[in-house]
Structure 1
Amino acid sequence: MTERLPLFPLNTVLYPGLVMPLHVFEERYRRLVADLLAGPDEQPRRFGVLAIRDGREVAPVRESAGPAGPLDGLGTMTGDPLEALHRVGCVADVTTAREQSDGRYELLITGTTRFRLLSIDATGPYLVGETEELEEQSGKGAGALAAGVERAFRLYRKRLAGAKESTLAGEQELPLDPQVLSYLVAAAAVLPAPVKQELLACPDTAQRLDAELELLRRETALLAWLPSVPATDLTRQAFSPN
């Protein structure tokens, strides 16, 4: 089953369950948001988020989530938009939208389901994509892999924060569901955008967890050799399993 979705290209990756603030000020995306808000209240206010391929963004055109937000510099594409965007993205539901006096918008969006981009209509004020939903499969051994990823992620987080291996006071509980855990780790780990995109596009949860386990072990080993590391609040981002 296919669906037409307005597209919002970013230079970051949105995952199912991730709650993300978004500051919208470029004209084409202000139009996108205005069109969504103009619909009936019962109509879902959603759009597709796709990561821009490396080297395709233009620096003068930027959107930002602000100083405390997870987004820092979005862009527009050059050339064929279908070639400029990754094909696997995430549907974003608009949780809240606040219009500013100058016409900008402050959004809070929640990632819901993954989709594959089939084609793009670039004739309107913003891009619209023909998409198909990608159902998440569990895969073989997801439960056992989730336990390993949880342990590896806790150690990775402590190494990144410069903490000792002993339990930190007030340490946040991690989700038990393997799929939810896989997306939380993908979102929270400090990894290049192409790697984050590969994790989003993994065929099933087990393969994503397997890749994360290898990445976390590698990154933790590298961090152990650094003389000092920055304190980073990795899992302070809001994350919803819905």
Structure 2
Amino acid sequence: MITDAATAFELPLFPLQSVLFPGGLLGLKVFEARYLDMIGSCLREQTPFGVIALKKGSEVKAADRTPVALESVGCMAELIEVDSVQPGILQVRCLGTQRFEATHLEQQADHLWVAQARRLPEDETVLPSEALLGSAKGLANAIATLKQQGSVPFLEPYQFDSAGWLANRWCEILPISLAAKQKLMELPDPLVRLQLVDEFLRSKGVVV
């Protein structure tokens, strides 16, 4: 992980009970004042915010003040669409860009979480090995099936020749636990990430 203090920057956070991967699409319905203000600021300044998974608690401010615990690694999100469907509610579409490590977390007076963050290295562009080509073919088939059902979960262009892109897209649609998705997202080696996904797919008979 990056340890150079000069790379640290302040990043507003949107904690979720899900994991955002680089290159992934995320839709949000925003209605709490702290997040409406955050989205407005990101729009004006053309800056990202951080999506980080919850280990404990909820993204919605709870009346019983349930403690919140956050993961230390998340993914930055870039706004690509913001629509005001009705007063006080925004429908937001984001693209996951780069992973970050939250080295310090602080909750502001408006209850918005802010991190001192450091960017983590982007995945190297690595071709899937021949043994993993079944995962690429399987994802192409899954995308075709989803399109027939009227769902387009991934942003084009598709990168079937990238081990990291393949692993990330599979992780988004596989029925695995939040903790498992978090561990996979954190892995620095995209080929190892795809190998683990491939093992899971083979164990379920998705890839033979």
- 1:36–1:77 CA distance, 2 compared to 1 (3 A): farther
- 1:12–1:35 CA distance, 2 compared to 1 (3 A): same
TM-score by length of 1: 0.66
Q: Residue in 2 aligned with 1:202? A: 187
Q: Residue in 2 aligned with 1:48? A: 50
Matched, 1:149 2:155: no
Q: Which amino acid aligns with 1:51?
A: A
Shift of 1:45: 3.1
Shift of 1:77: 8.0
> For 1:8-57, what per-residue CA distance to the aligned partner results, in whole angstroms no more than 9, with x for missing partners?
001011111112221111222122112223x3xxx32310000111x423
Percent identity of equivalent pairs: 26
Structure 1 distance, partners of 2:126, 2:38, is: 40
Q: Which amino acid aligns with 1:176?
A: D
Shift of 1:175: 2.0
Structure 2 distance, partners of 1:174, 1:137, is: 13
Secondary structure at the residue paired with 2:46?
coil
TM-score by length of 2: 0.76
Secondary structure at the residue paired with 2:86?
coil
Alignment of 1:25-64 (within 5 A): 25-37=31-43, 39=44, 43-53=45-55, 55-57=56-58, 61=60
Secondary structure at the residue paired with 1:214?
helix
Match of 1:115 among 100, 108, 115: 100
Structure 1 distance, partners of 2:41, 2:170, is: 33
Structure 2 distance, partners of 1:116, 1:145, is: 32
Q: Residue in 2 aligned with 1:12? A: 18
Q: Residue in 2 aligned with 1:234? A: none
* Higher strand proportion (structure 1 or 2): 2
Match of 2:71 among 77, 83, 86: 86
Shift of 1:137: 4.3
Please, which runs of 5 or more residues in structure 1 have no aligned partner?
63-75, 162-172, 222-242
Secondary structure at the residue paired with 2:129?
helix
- Contact 1:25-1:105 within 8 A present in 2 as well: yes
Alignment of 1:151-166 (within 5 A): 151=137, 153=139, 157=142
Secondary structure at the residue paired with 1:30?
helix
CA RMSD, 1 decimal: 3.0
- 1:183–1:33 CA distance, 2 compared to 1 (3 A): same
> For 1:161-201, what per-residue CA distance to the aligned partner results, in whole angstroms no more than 9, with x for missing partners?
9xxxxxxxxxxx76222221121111122222111111101
Secondary structure at the residue paired with 2:181?
helix
Paired residues, what number? 185
> For 1:86-111, what per-residue CA distance to the aligned partner results, in whole angstroms no more than 9, with x for missing partners?
11111000111122432111111000
Please, which runs of 5 or more residues in structure 2 have no aligned partner?
1-6, 147-157
Secondary structure at the residue paired with 1:52?
strand
